[in-house]
């Protein structure tokens, strides 16, 4: 079983500094990624460059699932907005090309809704006025993140990377699991800011904050929301 970011590998830095500043992975329930018919997603069936959405670690917190079509960087050193250091170890799957991140922008918490999405991954084939190819771009304030290097901020006002969603890939079945997060979580701020909207979107006042267990459905962004803003 391969794990994405099973631990923070920070041995090359000053141990005393790391002890004070390092942020560790946060593990939640191990949730199988399934398609809209509740069948397990196979890593080999993901279309490279396509935006997929699933919810984890809570019912109302959206995440991107991406097959970048190429190996990611490994052991990327990053920091949260508060200066806590961590290391993103790279993608999973046969080519180490599959990644997942919180789809909540680190600047003003823009996120994909069923009506509209200001934030998405831009493939190399997509022309854009502001967004560079192969990046996650938020049109709300033009924050931009590199998914091949741990969603490092490469442009705009965001002050930290998108939180990584830790994935496991089972080579025997080719199934994918979400197991936790790494980096700066913004879930508390997200729930405070959008509490009423999330209740309307999900038709429940409890589901958005309910922990995901066992399985989470994966949907193409194009099918999940009515309009994807491209800037």
Q: What distance in Å separates the CA atoms of residue 27 and residue 167, rounded to the nearest whole number?
A: 11
pLDDT tens for each residue of 93-108: 999 999 999 999 999 9
Domain count, the chain: 1
The answer to whether residue 25 scores a pLDDT higher than 80 is yes
Band of pLDDT at residue 17, cut at 50, 70 and 90: very low
Q: In this structure, are residues 221 and 51 in contact, taking their beta carbons and an 8 Å threshold?
A: yes
List the structure tokens of 206. Answer: 């409890």
Domain that holds residue 12: 2-228
Residue 21: pLDDT band (50, 70, 90) is: low
Tens of pLDDT, residues 164-185: 999 999 999 999 999 999 999 9
pLDDT at 127: 63
Q: CA nearest 120: which of 4, 222, 226?
A: 222
Distance, C-alpha 18 to centroid of its chain:
24
Look at residue 6 in the predicted model and tell me its pLDDT.
36
Q: If pLDDT is split at 50, 70 and 90, which confidence band does 4 have?
A: very low
pLDDT at 66: 98
Q: How far apart are CA 180 and CA 23, in angstroms?
A: 13
Predicted pLDDT at 131: 84
- The whole-number pLDDT of residue 2 equals 41
Q: Are 149 and 76 in contact (CB under 8 A)?
A: yes
CA distance 160 to 156: 11
- Assign residue 210 the CATH number of its domain: 2.102.10.10
Average pLDDT, rounded, for the chain: 91
Which of 158, 7, 31, 20 has the alpha carbon at shortest distance from 89? 7
Average pLDDT over residues 213-227: 96
Does residue 9 register a pLDDT over 60? no
Give the SS3 label for residue 113: coil
């Amino acid at each position: 079983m391969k794990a994405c970011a099973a631990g923070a590998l920070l041995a090359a830095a000053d141990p005393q500094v790391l002890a004070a500043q390092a942020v560790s992975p946060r593990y939640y329930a191990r949730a199988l990624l399934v398609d809209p018919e509740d069948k397990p997603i196979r890593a080999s069936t993901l279309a490279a460059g396509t935006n997929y959405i699933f919810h984890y670690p809570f019912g109302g917190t959206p995440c991107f699932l991406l097959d970048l079509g190429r190996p990611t960087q490994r052991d990327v050193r990053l920091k949260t907005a508060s200066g806590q250091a961590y290391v993103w170890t790279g993608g999973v799957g046969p080519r180490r090309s599959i990644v997942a991140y919180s789809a909540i922008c680190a600047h003003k918490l823009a996120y994909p809704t069923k009506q509209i999405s200001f934030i998405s991954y831009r493939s190399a084939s997509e022309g854009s006025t502001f967004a560079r190819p192969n990046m996650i771009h938020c049109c709300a304030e033009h924050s931009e993140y590199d998914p091949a290097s741990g969603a490092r901020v490469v442009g705009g006002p965001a002050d930290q990377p998108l939180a990584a969603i830790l994935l496991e890939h089972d080579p025997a079945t080719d199934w994918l699991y979400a197991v936790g997060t790494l980096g700066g979580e913004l879930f508390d701020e997200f729930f405070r800011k959008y509490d009423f909207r999330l209740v309307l979107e999900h038709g429940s006042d409890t589901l958005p904050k309910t922990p995901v267990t066992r399985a989470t459905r994966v949907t193409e962004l194009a099918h999940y929301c009515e309009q994807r803003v491209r800037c």
